[in-house]
Amino acid sequence: MQKFYVIGIGPGAPEEMTIRAKQALAEADIIAGYGTYIDLVKPLFPDKEYLQNGMTGEIKRCQLALEKAKEGKTVAMVSSGDSGIYGMAGLVLELAQGMEIDVETVPGITAAASGASLLGAPLMHDFAVISLSDRLTEWDLIVKRLNNAAEADFIIVLYNPRSKGRPDHIDRAREIFLQYKSASTPVGIVKNIGRTGETVILTTLGEMNIEDVDMFSTVFIGNRQTYIKDGKMITPRGYLEKKGNHQ
Ligand code: SAH
């Protein structure tokens, strides 16, 4: 059966792509994906055939790529981070049903993981990942999840926090969080991870500047135990507290 890879290429830097992802890309005849991600892969594989189109042409892009696979080509579809986390893996698997194509997903480092390591160790306890994009999800449902996650004192990671089409979603999320979390709750904003312009901002829920957040940012909101010390955002897992060994 014809092979079709759906590959998470990690946040951006080539050294944060897995060896398995590189092997799958090397095997492919055609590499498909959104232009920004293709640009990250092209320097590593300049001689491949590329199939790219805009951000919102996902269905068309997948259908074209699957057609190429039916013609007998080995295709690799790339997503940033992990392809199964707000990536293309789900859509490819849905569209490939009944097509006799062997879809293999190759995991990658998602922005929650790469961003957390730049901040310190904010995700040491239970956390919730929420996308603020209402392009495919009702805003009311997003609001419900923001409320429930904040009430349950999850550490919260926000993907798609802000774009031109939804400039105020991050502010609305912040207002919801402030109903459950104190204004001094640590917030980490990580932009362009592994890419030119990589930026790390440490602030609080009360003081965060919405203008610092864009569509290439991932935002981390701490739980009640999270603190910032020496430039690191840390959520204690509880080891020291358990020993009665408070710092
Ligand atoms: N599949 C991707 C997520 C795609 S959704 C993953 O697993 O990481 C797009 C959102 O992901 C962006 O709005 C941003 O919140 C986050 N993101 C993806 N790559 C990023 C990067 N290099 N730096 C910061 N945030 C990133």
Q: What does the pLDDT look like over 14-65, one tens digit per residue?
A: 999 999 999 999 999 999 998 888 999 999 999 999 998 766 688 998 999 9
pLDDT for 124: 98
Mean pLDDT value of segment 84-113: 97
The whole-angstrom separation of Cα 2 and Cα 21 is: 18
Q: How far is the CA of 36 from the centre of ligand 1 (A)?
A: 12
Mutate which of 6, 55, 157, 218 for ligand 1 pocket (most atoms within 8 A of beta carbon) = 218
- CB distance 31 to 11 below 8 Å: no
User: Phi and psi dihedrals of 141, rounded to 5?
Assistant: -70, -35
pTM above 0.85, yes or no: yes
Mutate which of 83, 86, 109 for ligand 1 pocket (most atoms within 8 A of beta carbon) = 86
- CB distance 7 to 103 below 8 Å: no
Q: How far is the CA of 108 from the centre of ligand 1 (A)?
A: 12
Helix (H) or strand (E) holding 144: helix 139-151
3-state secondary structure of 29: coil
**CB count, 10 Å around CB of 54?**
10
Q: Which band of pLDDT confidence, cut at 50, 70 and 90, is reported for residue 246?
A: low
Q: How far is the CA of 151 from the centre of ligand 1 (A)?
A: 25
Strands lying side by side in the sheet with 127-131: 127-131, 155-159, 217-221, 186-191, 199-204
The whole-angstrom separation of Cα 110 and Cα 116 is: 10
Q: How far is the CA of 160 from the centre of ligand 1 (A)?
A: 7
Q: Give residue ranges with CB within 6 A of ligand 1.
A: 11-12, 79-82, 85-87, 110-111, 159-161, 190-195, 215-218
Mean pLDDT value of segment 131-142: 96
| pLDDT at residue 244 tops 90 | no
Please report the atom of ligand 1 found closest to the CA of residue 133.
13
Q: How far is the CA of 226 from the centre of ligand 1 (A)?
A: 23
Mean pLDDT value of segment 160-183: 95
